């Protein structure tokens, strides 16, 4: 059993998918988000979409950093995480403007102060202001803030995003086919609309990241930050403290800031790419839960996916791997490992998309391709300096 599973979490969410398999899959079952007819206005040329996601256990890292340093500003990043995890999923079906967002914040009032609530709520609006400057309009409709200390040990920051969108402007992944190349867009670095270096971690796999990187000190000092029934062998097994630093491109960056880098949104970039290259986009995948295997859930038919020109994993992922001893198969199944967005397209369009990414100071490259298969199952092959990893679906 993997460390991830021993901690009570699943990269593939098998039980969740089993629970929802009998639900209506919407108009386009291969689309990254569920799409429904326009129930709001009854226009057959439009659709309605609603999506829910959040910062997950990353909020526990913010709690630890705040307790260690007294810096409450880190909570604004958690607000961005909750928004970006919704927004970037919706980007994958072509929605790039005029979205509505409602937040849901559940806290344990005995440990989470009003100052933190202000940082999260104001941080949400600040992120929307940044997006508006980039031409992406998200409207903040408030939400629910509840004191539920009997349920939540620290704080959970989540949200719901919805939109109404023309059916003719949807990206449904139905066009993904043999012959496509896959463009990967880096998750790390500093985009033009970001204020600091982004480690690329995002908001997936944070249970592993937290326990694999941070040392046992946090288990004894902050027992409220983990499930008490977990075996000691999987709780805070790393070598680092939040305030330890490592050098990246000549800059000393704390472990806490690497773990808490706000999830990069690709909204400004995708707004431009979708506007300029809509007819060339056969599919878009947000490499969130499931990491580099995420694409396999949205293929319209059995295909072979080969990713043989992957990004070199950013330092945060190597730190996690060396601390935990996890194998490459698990790492690429849990984390994005260097790119959190991929577009299936033609080779000529890929060149233009890569050039557009450079305008936003986001690294991009063709990381793989799609090949036909004679089988009734799809396969994913990852090839890099670590060797080869295969997955079958």
- The predicted structure's pLDDT at residue 5: 72
Q: 164-203 pLDDT, tens per residue?
A: 999 999 999 999 999 999 999 999 999 999 999 999 999 9
In Å, how far are 65, 92, 225 from 230, measured between CA atoms?
22, 36, 12
CATH superfamily of 3-197+260-392: PurM-like, N-terminal domain (3.30.1330.10)
Q: Partners of 60 in the beta sheet?
A: none
Query: Per-domain residue ranges for the chain?
Result: 3-197+260-392
- The predicted structure's pLDDT at residue 24: 84
Q: Splitting the chain (393 residues) into consecutive groups of 10 residues, what average pLDDT does each group show?
A: 65 61 86 97 97 97 96 96 98 98 97 97 98 98 96 97 98 98 98 98 95 96 95 95 94 96 98 98 97 97 98 96 93 97 98 98 98 97 94 95
- The predicted structure's pLDDT at residue 2: 65
- The predicted structure's pLDDT at residue 268: 98
The reply to whether the predicted model has a pTM over 0.85 is yes
Residue 311 has a CB neighbour count (10 Å cut-off) of 20
- The predicted structure's pLDDT at residue 65: 97
């Amino acid at each position: 059993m993997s460390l991830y599973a021993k901690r009570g979490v699943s990269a593939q969410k098998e039980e969740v998918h089993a629970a929802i398999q009998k639900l209506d899959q919407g108009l386009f079952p291969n689309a990254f988000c569920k799409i429904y007819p326009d129930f709001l206005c009854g226009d057959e040329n439009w659709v309605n979409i609603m999506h829910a996601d959040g910062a997950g256990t990353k909020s526990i890292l913010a709690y630890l950093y705040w307790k260690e340093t007294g810096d409450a500003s880190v909570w604004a990043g958690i607000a961005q995480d909750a928004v970006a995890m919704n927004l970037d999923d919706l980007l994958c079906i072509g929605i790039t403007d005029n979205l509505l967002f409602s937040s849901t914040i559940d806290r344990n009032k005995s440990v989470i102060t009003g100052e933190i609530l202000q940082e999260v709520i104001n941080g949400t609006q600040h992120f929307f202001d940044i997006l508006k400057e980039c031409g992406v309009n998200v409207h903040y409709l408030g939400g629910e803030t509840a004191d539920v200390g009997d349920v939540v040990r620290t704080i959970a920051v989540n949200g719901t995003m919805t939109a109404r969108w023309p059916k003719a402007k949807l990206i449904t992944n139905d066009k993904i086919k043999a012959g496509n190349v896959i463009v990967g867009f880096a998750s790390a670095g500093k985009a033009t609309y970001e204020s600091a270096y982004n480690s690329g971690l995002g908001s997936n796999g944070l249970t592993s990241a937290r326990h694999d990187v941070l040392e046992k000190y946090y288990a004894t000092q902050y027992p409220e930050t983990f499930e008490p029934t977990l075996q000691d062998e999987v709780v805070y097994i790393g070598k680092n403290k939040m305030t330890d630093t490592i050098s990246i491109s000549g800059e000393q960056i704390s472990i806490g800031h690497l773990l808490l880098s706000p999830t990069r949104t690709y909204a400004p970039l995708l707004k431009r790419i979708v506007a300029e290259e809509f007819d060339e986009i056969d599919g878009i995948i947000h490499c969130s839960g499931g990491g580099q295997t995420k694409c396999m859930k949205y293929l319209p038919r059995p295909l072979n996916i080969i990713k043989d020109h992957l990004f070199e994993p950013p330092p945060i992922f190597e730190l996690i791997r060396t601390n935990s001893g996890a194998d490459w198969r698990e790492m690429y199944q849990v984390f994005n490992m260097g790119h959190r967005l991929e577009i299936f397209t033609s080779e000529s369009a890929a060149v233009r998309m890569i050039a557009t990414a450079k305008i936003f100071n986001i690294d991009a490259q063709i990381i793989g391709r799609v090949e036909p298969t004679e089988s009734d199952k799809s396969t994913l092959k990852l090839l890099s300096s670590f060797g080869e990893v295969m997955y079958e679906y």
